[in-house]
Copies of this chain bind each other. A is one copy, B any other.
Amino acid sequence: MKATVLHAPGDVRFEDVAEPQILKPTDAIIRLAATCICGSDLWPFRGLQPLDEPMHMGHEYCGTVIEVGSAVTSVRPGQFVVGSFVLSDNTCPHCRHGFQSSCEQREFMTGAQAPYARVPLADGTLVALDSQPDDDLIPSLLAVSDVLGTGWYAADAARVQPGSTVAVVGDGAVGIMGVLAAKQMGAERIIAMSRHKSRQDLALEYGATDIVTERGAEGVARIRELTGHVGADSVLECVGTDESMHQAIDCARPGGSIGFVGVPHGVELAGDYLFFAQKNLLGGPAPVRRFMPHLLDLVLSRKINPGKVFDLSLPLEDVAEGYRAMDERRAIKTLLRV
């Protein structure tokens, strides 16, 4: 089959690779209904993350099971499944504690920008739907796999509650999903920090009540102004740079909470800064598996429509153009039709 391989920064190829096979009895093979490009795929694409060898790209997926290993009991061929970008056994103490993204057997999904993919730890990772979903729901089901699950975790880690005032740092797809999550959790005020019209519009559609275009110290000052000089109860950090992380912390009120889900690149936090800031911090790879039953229910009952975050849809073979469109911010997030 042909699939997506990153050979060097900027060099994404759709090329012949071996078909995935069952390697362990706990594996499943799925035929993807759709896949997509993640903001985090841009780190190696931009050369901001080391790349030792060609990398099989893609970790967001949903589709139909075509084969399972001998130990798999919870899914079977023919079922439509969605899974987290973090593979987990869902039975270890960390999984049972709701932190499947720190599973003792944790692996990260790879090779999903392809027609077929191998999903390790299938029993713990995949959730099967009761029936085949309507085609128009595929983008939203795909979103659950990472971008929605990660935005949701940012809001959960930032302890968004009914009535909360929330600030979202980062207007990428995850930040926009964070807006949706905060809205679902009952936030009264949701301030999206964005300077791009199309992203502002989508954030507003998903429930943002205010837009702040300033960044850094100016952005912090604007948030303080908008919150009666108190700061936000909850801040979702959805970028991962040193500037955005400090901006997020500075936007929260003392005793407030920051959920950080942007994979940190070059972030350094001084202990005395954190001490006198006096704010709750929790971040990490999202334990999407914890949220999946609820998120799938919201999607299947059409209470939310996270799939709108895909503003560009391309055939899988045009994946390289999808990377370029996101890199150049011409697209928020690219869906790849299989």
**Which residues of A are in contact with B by a Cβ distance under 8 Å?**
93-94, 97-99, 101-102, 228, 230, 240, 242, 245, 253-255, 260, 263-272, 274-285
Chain B residues with CB under 8 Å of A270's CB are 264, 267-269
| CB pair B228 A278 closer than 8 Å | no
30 residue pairs of the A-B complex, CB under 8 angstroms, read A93-B228, A94-B230, A94-B254, A94-B255, A97-B253, A97-B254, A97-B255, A99-B254, A101-B254, A101-B278, A240-B271, A242-B271, A254-B284, A260-B274, A263-B272, A264-B271, A265-B272, A266-B271, A267-B271, A268-B269, A268-B271, A269-B269, A269-B270, A269-B271, A277-B284, A278-B282, A278-B284, A280-B281, A281-B281, A281-B282
Once bound together, how far apart are the Cα atoms of A276 and B261, in whole Å? Answer: 10
Give the residue of B97, B242, B269 whose beta carbon is less than 8 angstroms from that of A274.
B269
Chain B residues with CB under 8 Å of A266's CB are 271
| CB pair A253 B283 closer than 8 Å | no
Once bound together, how far apart are the Cα atoms of A157 and B279, in whole Å? Answer: 10
Chain B residues with CB under 8 Å of A281's CB are 274, 280-282
